[in-house]
Structure 1
Amino acid sequence: MPTVRRLAHEFLDRRGLTTIFGNPGSNELPFLAELPAHFRYVLGLHEGAVVGMADGYAQATGRPVLVNLHAAAGSGNAMGALTNAVYSRSPLVLTAGQQVRTAIGPEAMLANVDATQLMRPLVAWSGEPSCAADVPRSLAQAVFEAELHRRPSYLSVPYDDWAAELDETATLDRGVQKGLAPSEAQLDALAASVAAAKNPALVLGGDIDATGLFDRAVAVAEHLDLPVWVAPSPHRLPFPNRHRLFRGVLPAGIAPVSAALTGHDLVLVLGAPVFRYHQHVPGAYLPEGTRLIQVTDDFGAAARAPMGEALVADPAPVIEALLAKVPARATPAGYSATPEPRIGATALHPEQVFAALRDTQAAGTRYVVESTSTNSAWWRQMDLRRAGSYFFPAAGGLGFGLPAAVGVAMGDPDRPVVGVIGDGSANYGITALWTAAHYRVPVTFVILRNGVYGALRWFGELLGTPDVPGTEIPGLDFTAIAAGYGVEATTVTGEEDLRAQLKATPDGPRLIQVDTEPTTPE
């Protein structure tokens, strides 16, 4: 008779979940035993880095990925990174080892007390099998829940379950699919609204890029000659940022969004919540006379929106309907030139760094960015024209950048990957350097070192609290840290040296530390 472990491994194999990101403890060893030879186990040295790598991997591949955590402590370590995966809608299947069943009630060491509640409300589903015979079905549910909701799921399994023997009938060989096609009447009504609008605008969210609709979004914007904004706080770039129709990233405040959309009688939002605000700047949600229609397959995003109308549907057929049903207003496409970068007085300005990246890196480079204080400089200098070019921590949780860059590079080794990380952010996911070195992941880390938490200083000004402690972080040397983890590293201070370093093609990970002037998001 097969064991639960064998049935689980066979199910994961059939579903293509053969890459596992993890940091094992004693409770997890029985699941990892007898792992098929073609499975790949990617070791991270901290669970936050493990989830960050898996998040990047899932976003790069567009597929679910298995994460193996250690009981309650390891799951707790992962929760900060999990917030980013939730808002990037990454289908992570989180599994955690649990004490043997007889030890859970007495709360023996490493028992995960009330395990199903630990990761809520972050995960879409959380479970613990009622008995060993229910483990294969529960594992399948965890995978399907992550796929259907495009959100992490969590399964806690007592470790004595894995060796239990089950009848062959416990084998699961099934699939679950989701279809959210809008009706023809809904498509006709939406197309009529767009056609009748005098001055419509398009707002695109990260789901457009995540679901492979980048090029179709460009096509519909050009077909209708619509000005395009990216929804606030983007974790992906759904539209070329130097396209003549691109108007920028909407600000993350209520009143500023309303001001930006003034003059448009219809705002069509595809693949985004409306909206993910950050700094509290109250005001009218929409300008007077503006109608907003949101199209999303995220039920929660549609239900919690404070304004507008929502159509819960896959944006893909909506885009195709607009192309087919609304007469073209097309004019020639074009791209704007980048402005000259600002020059730093005492160190390189971040714009000089980003201009160097733009000029030296291949057009298809994927950038994983975690430098919040340099957002304005980033969008002024970069020229991103391909799908899957930009990744950012979706919930703003620090520690995403270094691990996610490793995960993105492992998920798609055919495109170069550059992590652009602030010196404050880098410390939260620093152990990812070891994984990059151990697996020889060809990723370039560019660390912007300015010695301060720039975004905090900016927020301090917004909140009228400019004199708070804890915003300075002097004395960090990431080249020494990287060397300790086995990553080749160098420091550059001048622009010519930076460009020369960036032109080199690594066959493994490398880190470039660049001293930069402090800036603010503006």
Structure 2
Amino acid sequence: MLERGLDTVFGNPGSNELPFLQDMPEGIRYVLGLHEGVVVGMADGYAQATGRPTLVNLHSASGTGNAMGALTNACNSHTPLVVTAGQQVRATVGPEPMLANVSAPALTSPLTKWAGEPLCAQDVPRMLDQALWEATTGSRGPTYVSVPYDDWDRESADNDDFLLPRRVVEGLRLPPEHLREIAGGLGSARRPGLVLGSEVDAVGANAACRELAELLGADVWVAPSPYRLPFPNRHPLFRGVLPASERGVRAALDGNDVVLVLGAPVFRYHQYEPDRYLSDGTALLHVTEDPQEAARAPFGISFVAGLTATAQALVDALVEQRGGTRPAPPATWTVPPTAPEPVDGVFHPGAVFEVLRGTAPAETAYVVESTSTNGDFWRHMDLREPGSYFWPASGGLGFGLPAAVGVKLARPDRPVVAVVGDGSANYGITALWTAAQYRVPVVFVILKNGTYGALRWFSGMLGTGEVPGLDVPGIDFLSIARGYGVPAAAAGTAEELAELVRQGIAADGPTLVEVRTELTTP
């Protein structure tokens, strides 16, 4: 662990895990979460913010089961988590005693890239090392290892020292003929378009993609349901987030004759609005680091290659085509719309985001989990810095509060604000305890409208009318936060909200701000 830089463990232990935690060496931090979904959510945010693999320690099958919802997000965001779980004593697993993890390697499928349980105790170090490289090689993602708890008392193998200097080196570069194919298509396009996925931000390809867009003067869209920020949303070339439906994507890209998708699936739809994938005359090229994304794309030409290297190579090719001329940065950026003023202490969500935009520093990282207000978030915020936006990649609720804790632990140099709906907050509410215990200075902003806003929107789309289970009234987040040790206050005006945000950012521990909001649609 120490050799590989795994210096932080996020966990919720049970009896099977105690031998692993015994005599933990200096230099390793253990971060306790009160529920396994929160544990994985914190680790997910931490790993995304650091860009490095992170170790998670769960309890056997039951703890792993509690974490599965959070694993859906980590799977879809390609987050490199190494998830470990304790197994019963090796000699007793067959008769399935209490707390045995039956068929452990199959338990997390298909949410993990790879899973295993060592056939003998001496294989534990090698298998953990394999889990790390599996998580970080190629298209990244979570892995899972189940370890019988009596294995930790065994002597290591004579050859284990060979593991420590081991490295896996990969280079995913497109051959010149394929780069020429993409560059030629873009360079000759009448109206090129770029669709940038969240992986652009995850692998640090933001600057190269921005320069590529400016060279081409391309329309820039963010791929549907983004979980990171691949492009500044106030840049004059930014056209918005693509709708998550066949009809919406076709309409948005209708004017583009060549579209290059970088770092996203083609496409990740949500609403069922069937249509032709693209208009006649629109050609689509696709670059991804995930071979499975390339294989399952139903249209376009897919190339499996590194995003940063490919974007930079395309920039170099186009600059050479144009005699070495590089684009000037934009002289002006777009201005967000003005939001309505709060009425009787109830905010339009855009008014909340307007306050955040004007109050929080420009480098603030936002962890957002409020589906019904997300459209307003993109319309009203000014996000320019890489690593400024995190969202549950699979739509699995419970990410926002814990991921914000993980992001702040990973990036103590940046302010972190969590914007979470009152419906979503309850899924990961125990993250407040961890934030309080470890003095993690996150500003938690709870948008309270008393209902599952996204479900109300979908009920209209699907024509279901009023159905049970759409409202969540009567939750006192101020009392809940204080009960977990987090100072909390409500804001009824824009001035009060701004002052509470300023105080929260300056604090040396967490703060929760409750804001009543009107119901809006995604």
- TM-score category by the smaller chain? over 0.9
Give the aligned partner of residue 334 of structure 2. Answer: 336
What does 1:29-178 correspond to in 2, within 5 Å?
A: 29-148=18-137, 149-171=139-161, 172-173=163-164, 174-178=166-170
- The DSSP-based 3-state class of the residue aligned with 2:2 is helix
Q: CA deviation digits over 1:403-426, x for unaligned, max 9?
A: 000000001100000000000000
Gapped regions of structure 2 (runs ≥ 5): none
Q: Which residue number corresponds to residue 520 of structure 1?
A: 521
Q: Which amino acid aligns with 1:262?
A: D
Distance 2:515 2:59 in 1: 36
Match of 1:450 in 2: 449
Q: How far off is 1:466 after superposition?
A: 2.0
Contact 2:342-2:494 within 8 A present in 1 as well: no
1:338 aligned partner, one-letter code: P
Corresponding residue for residue 490 of structure 1: 489
For residues 420 and 300 of structure 1, the distance between their equivalents in structure 2, rounded to whole angstroms, comes to: 32
Residues 47 and 80 in structure 2, CA contact (< 8 A), matched pair in contact too: yes
Counterparts of 1:341-356 in structure 2, within 5 Å, are 341-345=339-343, 347-356=346-355
Q: Counterpart amino acid of 2:509?
A: G
Write the distance in 2 (CA, Å) between the matches of 1:195 and 1:493: 52
TM-score by length of 1: 0.96
Residue type of the partner of 1:86?
C
**Displacement after TM superposition at 1:166 (Å):** 2.8
Match of residue 270 from structure 1: 262
SS in 2 for 1:354: helix
Deviation, structure 1 residue 321: 2.0
Q: What is the DSSP-based 3-state SS (H/G/I as helix, E as strand, rest coil) of the residue aligned with 1:269? A: strand
Q: Is the 8 A contact 1:342 1:349 kept in 2?
A: yes
User: Which stretch shows the higher mean deviation, 118-127 or 208-217?
Assistant: 208-217
1:331 offset after TM fit, Å? 6.3
Deviations 1:53-88 (A, max 9, x none): 000000000000000000000000000000000111
1:359 aligned residue: 358
In structure 1, distance between residues paired with 2:96 and 2:186: 60
Sequence identity, in percent?
59
CA displacement 1:352-377 (0-9 Å, x = unmatched): 10000000000000000000000121
Aligned to 2:186: 194
Cα deviation for residue 345 of structure 1 reads 4.3
Q: Does 2:278 match 1:289? A: no
The answer to whether the 8 Å contact 2:342/2:493 transfers is no
| Native 8 Å contact 1:225 1:331 kept in 2 | no
Instruction: Report how far residue 493 of structure 1 moved.
Output: 1.5
Separation of aligned partners in 2, 1:332 and 1:410: 33
In 1, the alpha carbon distance for the partners of 2:118 and 2:198 equals 34
Per-residue Cα deviation, 1:432-473 (whole angstroms, up to 9, x for no partner):
000000000010000000100000000000000121110011
Q: Please, which runs of 5 or more residues in structure 1 have no aligned partner?
A: 1-11
Residues of 2 paired with 1:114 and 1:135: CA distance? 17
- Partner in structure 2 of residue 249 of structure 1: 241
Q: Secondary structure of 2:92's partner?
A: helix
Question: One-letter code of the match for 1:336?
Answer: T
What is the identity, as a one-letter code, of the residue corresponding to 1:317?
A
Q: Are 1:279 and 2:279 counterparts?
A: no
Show the 5 A alignment for 1:307-318.
307-318=299-310
- 1:330 deviation in Å? 4.1
Give the corresponding residue for 2:397. 398
Distance 2:171 2:326 in 1: 31
Q: CA deviation at 1:113?
A: 0.5
Local SS of the residue matching 1:240: coil
SS of the residue corresponding to residue 153 of structure 2 reads: coil
Larger displacement relative to structure 2 (56-65 or 327-336): 327-336
- C-alpha contact (below 8 Å) 1:437/1:486 kept by paired residues: yes
Q: How many residues align?
A: 510
Corresponding letter in the other structure for 1:164: R
What amino acid sits opposite 1:259 in the alignment?
A
Q: Equivalent residue for 1:511? A: 512
Per-residue deviation, residues 89-135 of structure 1 (Å, max 9, x unmatched): 10000000000112111110000001111000110001000000111
Cα distance per residue 1:321-362 (max 9 Å; x no partner): 222212368465131111111345451111110000000000
- C-alpha separation between the residues in 2 aligned to 1:139 and 1:332? 46
Note closer, same or farther for the CA distance 1:362–1:289 as it changes in structure 2 (3 Å cut): same
Q: Which amino acid aligns with 1:487?
A: V
